């Protein structure tokens, strides 16, 4: 083998007219992908569950190779497509009927915050960073945690958020970067990590999450 051989680098020693075949193969596989995804019954995809990700990876890897490998035929790829999509439809039907199968495959929605309290343990187990959650809340016009009643982490990875009525808003941890002050000698303070409210001023450690930083809470209503 000769190094830096331009013809090999560009074309893997295949003739240039093979590019025409690549064009044709790609057009065919493009249509096959489109038809298969439509047949799966899925609409547009915003967030993928793990199960859907498997579908996409399965189809994706079978779709690419026959587009440009001269020694990979189209029919094996069609077979992969048919089998993957049949598995998908079959398992979707199964999970619709059997609840534990659904939990096993898709996971289940989980509360991250309930009745204004951040569920610290679930939150820690969810592989989700505090920054990600706060960023999502900021996008929903949340200024501090006291405005939020409940947050559910859906299996798609999206957040469902319920807000308090204006009259029920509690003193909360500000979540915009650089907002809010470290707690001084105020009586009402919130934990800088989990938002736990303390009426007795700064404590050594937060009873909820054991962090030691406290901030002055915000009290404002949510403007949306």
* Nearest distance in Å: CB 80, Zn ion: 50
Q: Rounded to whole angstroms, how far apart are CA atoms 16 and 111? A: 58
* Nearest distance in Å: CB 215, Zn ion: 11
* Nearest distance in Å: CB 97, Zn ion: 42
Judged by CB, which is closer to Zn ion: 67, or 173? Answer: 173
- By CB under 5 A, residue 194 contacts Zn ion: yes
Judged by CB, which is closer to Zn ion: 81, or 214? Answer: 214
- By CB under 5 A, residue 173 contacts Zn ion: no
Number of residues located near Zn ion, criterion CB under 5 A: 8
Q: Report the 10 Å Cβ neighbour count for 137.
A: 21
Selected from 170, 198, 206, 218, the binder of Zn ion by CB under 5 A is 206
- By CB under 5 A, residue 198 contacts Zn ion: no
* Nearest distance in Å: CB 210, Zn ion: 7
Judged by CB, which is closer to Zn ion: 49, or 203? Answer: 203
- By CB under 5 A, residue 118 contacts Zn ion: no
Selected from 81, 123, 164, 193, the binder of Zn ion by CB under 5 A is 193
Judged by CB, which is closer to Zn ion: 141, or 182? Answer: 182
Q: Which residue has the tokens 């999970």?
A: 95
* Nearest distance in Å: CB 202, Zn ion: 12
The string over 7-19, giving b where at least 16 C-beta atoms fall within 10 Å of a residue's C-beta and e elsewhere, is eeeeeeeeeeeee
The stretch near Zn ion (CB under 5 A) out of 43-51, 92-100, 166-174, 186-194 is 186-194
- By CB under 5 A, residue 208 contacts Zn ion: yes
Q: Rounded to whole angstroms, how far apart are CA atoms 224 and 89? A: 40
Q: Which spans of this chain sit near Zn ion (rule: CB under 5 A)? A: 191, 193-194, 196, 206, 208-209, 211
């Amino acid at each position: 083998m000769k190094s830096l051989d331009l013809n090999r680098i560009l074309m893997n020693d295949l003739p240039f007219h093979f590019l025409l075949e690549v064009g044709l193969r790609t057009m065919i596989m493009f249509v096959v992908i489109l038809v298969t995804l439509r047949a799966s019954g899925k609409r547009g995809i915003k967030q993928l569950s793990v199960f859907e990700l498997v579908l996409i990876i399965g189809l994706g890897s079978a779709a690419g190779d026959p587009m440009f490998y001269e020694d990979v035929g189209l029919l094996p790829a069609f077979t992969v497509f048919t089998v993957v999509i049949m598995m998908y439809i079959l398992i979707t039907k199964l999970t619709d009927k059997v609840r534990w199968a659904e939990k096993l495959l898709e996971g289940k929605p989980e509360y991250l915050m309930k009745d204004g309290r951040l569920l610290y343990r679930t939150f820690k187990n969810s592989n989700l960073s505090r920054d990600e959650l706060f960023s999502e809340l900021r996008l929903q016009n949340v200024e501090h945690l006291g405005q939020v009643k409940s947050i559910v982490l859906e299996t798609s990875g999206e957040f469902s958020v319920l807000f308090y009525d204006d009259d029920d808003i509690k003193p909360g941890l500000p979540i915009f970067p650089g907002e809010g002050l470290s707690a001084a000698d105020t009586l009402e303070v919130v934990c800088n990590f989990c938002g736990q409210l303390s009426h007795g001023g700064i404590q050594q450690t937060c009873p909820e999450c054991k962090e030691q930083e406290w901030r002055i809470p915000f009290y404002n209503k949510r403007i949306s």
